[in-house]
Amino acid sequence: MTPVTPPTGKFRFRMVGGGLQLQIEKAADFVNVLDLDEAFWAMTAVDTNALRFDRRFLEFVDSDHDGIIRTDEVKAALRFAKTYFTDLTAMAQAESVIKISSLDPQAPGVAGVIDCAKLILNNLGRKADEGLSDADIRDARSVTSFTRRNGDGVITCEAELAPELQQLIQAVIASGRMTVDLSGCDGVSLADVTGFEAALQKRLALMDAKNSDPAIMIYGEETGKYYQLFQECEALISGYFLNSAAGIFLHNDPERSIKKEFSADLMVPQNVREALSNAALAVPHDGNTLDLSHPLNPLYAEKLQTLAATPALSGFLDGTKLTGENFRRAQAALAAFGNWQKACSECDGLEKLTESQLRELSALPIAELKSLIEADLSFAPVVSAGETLLKLALYQRYMKDFLNNFVSLSELFNPVKPSHLQMGKLIMDGRHFTLTVRVKNPAEHKRIIKSSNICVIYVEISRQNGTKTDKELLACAVTSGTMRSLFIGKHGVFFDTDKVIYDAVIKDISEQPVSIGEAFKAPFYQFADFISKQTERIFNTRNAAMQKSMTDEMNKSQMAKVPQVPTPNAPAPAPAATPAPAGGMGNLPMLLMGGGIGIAALGSSIAFIANSLQDVSLKTIFAVLAGIVVIFGGPSVVIALIKIFRRNLSRFLESCGCAVNRPMRMSRKMGLIFTFVPQRPKGEISMIDPVAVFNPVKKISRGKKAVLWIMILLLGIICGLGAAYFHVRQLEKSIAAEEQVDEKIDDQQPEAVDDQNNK
């Protein structure tokens, strides 16, 4: 006999789900994935929503961020890990801690990654060889040394800073200059501080000009008040001089400037105010002179006289007259203060601050804050390397599990540890259902799942999360047992992989044969349902007939009680029978008859069945029953067995967004992995029923027992007599048939003797 030579080669395959799949356990197996043709992978693409993995890990693998991970992205992730790690042993062991010693010092950009790891270790107070978990790397405070040195160039107001720096940062933020730090806190960037400093210097320059230039504060501290009043009257005075000049230029009547044609009802204040607001300040008299002693528009007279009493205008008056030239001189005198005030009113975030507040801010250490920001920016390369470090840590921890749920599906058939394709565990009907996946489009999912020949229940899970309710639709495969106790609306409980509990209720069912035992029992259930329906139909028919007969009899009895009026020339009717007296026992026959309708119908049905079967032998009855079972159940059993044999697990996975390469038939043993009754834990068992404890059954007296045994004996005698009756009838029929045969023979024998004699 020729010995079997073991196959040679670097690939190691194992039987998974009825087919050979790559075995991924050792460091060399990760390299083999890169060389294995994609046709031999378990899957070629998967929807990230169908996977129960760390979301950051999936984002790193899904390089184009389209929500679908394909074979090229998986290979790129493996090449990335292979470049940075000296070997893949830690990845094969799925270690959760990454060490600096495991990084290849020759890898491109690895120096920044190592510096970032050292910075985190230093911030956490650890040694270089202790290692970092992905949680350590994700913690912003450990990476960025209390969130200030995180490389984003933003400094936040923190307790570790000097009070002067905190005050300065708050002032910059209060001025509307703010940038959000990577940690999510409000802070200031270099552009914010520079803009604040420029605005502050401009404000201080304006304050210095006000103090040093007498042309600005021409009237001292009262300049602002005088300028405000002058501004309110400036447009009115300018309008007066314009109207006067227009009248001279156009040779028009000066008095027309007050619109005499507009007549207002003096009894309506609103109309008067409207008329005055459309009129000029005063009636022009001397072309280029405004005489304040003449009548002025009542709306503006008081304000104009107040202005005339101030130094801002009194110095330019000739008695009570203001010429156009002097008015322009007054405007020029206040122009410097107007320009200064306009510059101070610019919106730069500091317009509401007083001079003393501005002086106080100028004394704060702005240069020191700028230095902190520049120092923070110097950490940008180190912090950006933190993303690479986190990527490597997640690859080391999760890549093995991911490959065994993508390149190979060995994790899917592990009864101890749930696969990352499974969303959790449904407990319902005393069973565990573990093959559960998310459903995005129920109609599309049901269309695909129908071709898998796997029975699926669609379960809606929900739980209260604060003020909102989290809901999700899952598809749960029923792979063993029976479906008779599962129905739409049945409730259960669902545990996700993090042990979070949800309420579960069946919303829909895609029915398929579940097990061989159910397939063989189904014909008997169908036949039992058929017999039940036929018996119920016969009983209902007989019952209806009996009720109709009783109703007719009662109607005839009631009609007989009504006296008949004889018609003329007609013979008198025969005397009717005397009815029974009403009340008492007179209605007893009717009561007994009405109360026994059901019993009569039942007896009639039994008699009908007995008469129908009295001429049929028991063998024939059993043969007919067996034939009915075969006719009813034979095809369904065959079809169910075929569907159970053709159950396709790959099609079930494809319904949730997985591109599976080859079909995997779900065997009976495989079905017991995903749907099973858990084993009862060992312990003491008590056979005392609480019903017997809290509601004990009373002992039956001897008299009742005797009556019970007599009834059982009578029932047995009736059954025996019935059987004997049917047996005697059968014998009588047989004897009668034999006698008929003998008579025919006797009739034929004399004729035969006469013929013999004649011969």
The Cα angle at residue 479 between residues 475 and 481, in degrees rounded to 5:
120
**Which among 661, 663, 660, 666 has a CA at the least distance from the CA of 647?**
666
Query: SS3 sequence, 527-563?
Result: HHHHHHHHHHHHHHHHHHHHHHHHHHHHHHHHHHHCC
> Please, what is the angle between helix 588-595 and helix 597-613, to 10°?
50
DSSP reduced 3-state for 313: helix
pLDDT given for residue 80 in this prediction:
94
pLDDT given for residue 584 in this prediction:
43
Q: Are 289 and 323 in contact (CB under 8 A)?
A: yes
Q: Are 80 and 391 in contact (CB under 8 A)?
A: yes
- Quickly count: other Cβ atoms within 10 Å of residue 251's Cβ: 6
Q: What is the pLDDT of residues 332-379, one digit of tens each?
A: 888 888 888 888 888 888 888 888 888 898 888 999 989 888 888 877
Q: What is the pLDDT of residues 626-661, one digit of tens each?
A: 776 666 667 777 777 788 888 888 888 888 888 888
Q: What is the pLDDT of residues 290-322, one digit of tens each?
A: 888 888 888 888 888 888 888 888 888 888 888
What's the chain's length in residues? Answer: 759
Q: What is the pLDDT of residues 35-93, one digit of tens each?
A: 999 999 999 999 998 888 889 999 999 989 899 999 999 999 999 999 999 999 999 99
**Which among 405, 385, 411, 419 has a CA at the least distance from the CA of 61?**
405
3-state helix, strand, coil in the chain (%, to 5): 55, 10, 35
The Cα angle at residue 560 between residues 554 and 562, in degrees rounded to 5:
115
What gap in Å lies between CA 152 and CA 180, rounded to an integer? 10
Could you tell me which residues come within 8 angstroms of residue 434 by beta carbon, excluding any fewer than 6 positions away? 418, 422, 425, 426, 673, 674, 675
pLDDT given for residue 75 in this prediction:
94
Task: Quote the tokens at residue 455.
Answer: 């029975």
Residue that has been written with the tokens 């008015």 in this structure: 327
Residue type, 415: P
pLDDT given for residue 580 in this prediction:
46
The stretches of 566-667 forming alpha helices (DSSP H) are 588-595, 597-613, 618-645, 649-654
pTM across the whole model: 0.57
What is the four-CA torsion angle of 425, 428, 431, 435, rounded to 10 degrees? -30
Q: What is the pLDDT of residues 580-630, one digit of tens each?
A: 444 444 444 444 444 455 555 445 555 555 555 556 566 676 676 677 666
Could you tell me which residues come within 8 angstroms of residue 133 by beta carbon, excluding any fewer than 6 positions away? 96, 97, 98, 393
